[in-house]
Amino acid sequence: MFDWVPNKHLTAEMNIDTNSLFYLTAINWHAEEPFLQFQVQGDQLSQSTSANELELRFRVAAGRERQCVGTVDRSKDGSTRVQCDSPAASARQCDRCQTKENIAAANMHQAHRRGRDAIGKAMAAYLTHPHRLYVAIFRDGATKVGTTRGLSGGNRLVEQGAWFASYLAQTDDGFFVRELEDSTTEKLGVRQAVDTRKKFAGHLQPLPDQELESRLTQKANEIKKFLTGEVGSRGLLLDDRWSNPRIEDQAWTNLVSYPAVINQGAHEFAIKSMVGRLAVCNRTGFAENFLVDLQPLLTHPLETGDFEIDEFIMQDSLF
Ligand SMILES: [Zn+2]
């Protein structure tokens, strides 16, 4: 799934001029650790690089086309990324990949309503695998209910940037887990998604961990009570707590919003730590820990070389 060849473009020596454009094609999590996947234009393989301590120096190439990030194929073995070299038409993809992804997303989320025969063999095989239902809380206090494939690991939770979570049930397959997810939303009003802007704001002004944990406990108890009557013989109730590995990390305190637009101009920073698609980064000459959303970098043509880095315009907070 990952190509582990060290990438000469993305180390401390990144200011070597490669003469090739490169693209950030994905932000991946592996054993709850973040990896950035880059593709150098013209290369067949993309390269996965550990995001922690990664030093980046790049400029968004002006006047060059954005490139599609490709899609994800799902099968009985899990999910794999499929690369694409077409220009991006939407926020992240070309028309073909966007259509493919829309169909896959609809099939996955509607699988329990459409039935096995309507969603394609590969997707049905992907879903015929144990799943878990969880409730997660983010640092602003927003909660969501969600599902994850497999009975171990917290990749889905770190990928989304959850701060604490509780696994509530396990099921034999991904069909029934979505029935439980939908009925939890319908009956108790717990949402299935949290906006990135709320996640970002939560890191800048977080609720105390203790408060988040007690809110989560309350929400989990409410859902568990409801699930007791729903799970029956098709699953098991769980009571497994999860917390983000970064909760004790001082990098995630006193954060300042990155004072530049990440997908324009020239940047230089070192990534210290990541939660979901959000990175804490440092820049030489500044004591602050900056919080930046890396996702807007996807599709943009990036280049290395000998250029000046844009100055930060720091806004003094008023009182
Ligand atoms: Zn594409």
Span from the CA of 83 to the centroid of ligand 1 (angstroms): 7
C-alpha 276 to ligand 1 mean position (Å): 23
CA of 197 to the centre of ligand 1 (A): 26
298 Cα to the center of ligand 1, angstroms:
13
Distance 249 CA to ligand 1 centre (A): 37
Determine how β-strand 131-137 pairs with β-strand 143-149.
antiparallel
Q: Is 107 within 8 Å of 123 (Cβ atoms)? A: yes
The secondary structure of residue 77, as a DSSP letter, is: T
Q: Please give the distance, rounded to the nearest whole angstrom, from the Cα atom of residue 57 to the centre of ligand 1.
A: 26
Centre of ligand 1 from the C-alpha of residue 120, in Å: 21
pTM across the whole model: 0.90
Q: Which two tokens stand for residue 252?
A: 């995630």
* Number of CB atoms found within 10 A of residue 117's CB: 8
The pLDDT tens digits along the chain (319 residues) read 333 334 444 543 343 345 789 999 999 999 999 999 999 988 878 889 999 999 999 999 989 999 999 999 998 888 888 999 999 999 999 999 999 999 998 888 888 888 888 888 999 999 999 999 999 999 999 999 999 999 998 999 999 999 999 999 999 999 999 999 999 999 999 999 999 999 999 999 999 999 999 999 999 999 999 999 999 888 999 999 999 999 999 999 999 999 999 999 999 999 999 999 999 999 999 999 999 999 999 999 999 988 999 998 776 654 4
